[in-house]
Amino acid sequence: MKQNTIDSTSIIEVPKIIDENRRGNLSVIEKDTLPFKIERVYYLYDVPSDAFRGGHAHKKLKQFLIPISGSFDVVLKDGINSKTVTLNKPNKGLLIVPGIWRELENFSSGAICLVLASNTYDEDDYIRDFDSFVKQKNSFY
Ligand code: T46
């Protein structure tokens, strides 16, 4: 059984195609870009700068967060350590594995967080209480 820590999360760079005729950039996520099959896509937008999203962990879900526009911070916790990752490049996303608490904050004006997820929505996969998260941490894998 694997015990994920904040070091199990990682930044994945999405290939960027820079147009030779100055038409801007194109980034593409294909089936081998991420270490999971994408089963769901959702996005967060119009988030006020003083608002918090997340505030939970997932038991089995893997997710890839991409700042399609603007920037925001992701605070990651594994029950022992924590770190903050700033996402501000549309071709650099954050892979969050199961068993990691996440909080999203400091959204810039117009920021959009695109999320690619390994499974469909399931409220039973969430741990929304931090104390329960720390207690249950040993059963995650
Ligand atoms: C995560 C962060 C980054 C659905 O009906 N379907 C969905 O696919 C999702 C994601 C949410 N919902 C419903 C459940 C709640 O009634 O939308 C409402 C807001 O969800 P939540 O409070 O979980 O939203 P966030 O932004 O705090 O968290 C979401 C994801 O739930 C979560 O997995 O990691 O974005």
| 58 classed as catalytic | no
Q: What is the pLDDT of residue 139?
A: 63
CA of 39 to the centre of ligand 1 (A): 15
**Which residue has the least CA distance to atom 23 on ligand 1?**
54
Options 5, 14, 44, 56, the catalytic residue: 56
Q: What is the pLDDT along the chain (141 residues), one digit of tens a residue?
A: 358 999 999 999 999 999 999 999 999 999 999 999 999 999 999 999 999 999 999 999 999 999 999 999 999 999 999 999 999 999 999 999 999 999 999 999 999 999 999 999 999 999 999 999 998 886 654
137 lines ligand 1 (CB under 6 A): no
Residue 109: the pLDDT is: 98
Q: Which residues of 50-68 are buried (b: 16+ CB within 10 A; e: fewer)?
A: eeeebeebbeebbbbbbbe
| Secondary structure class of 32 (helix, strand, coil) | coil
pLDDT tens-digit series, residues 29-47: 999 999 999 999 999 999 9
Among 9, 39, 42, the mutation site with the greatest number of ligand 1 atoms within 8 A of its Cβ is: 42
Check residue 136 and give its pLDDT. Answer: 85
52 Cβ closer than 6 Å to some ligand 1 atom = no
d(CA 123, CA 69) in angstroms, rounded, equals 27
* Percent of the chain clearing pLDDT 90 (strictly above): 92
Question: How many Å apart are CA 2 and CA 4, to the nearest integer?
Answer: 6
pLDDT score for 137: 81
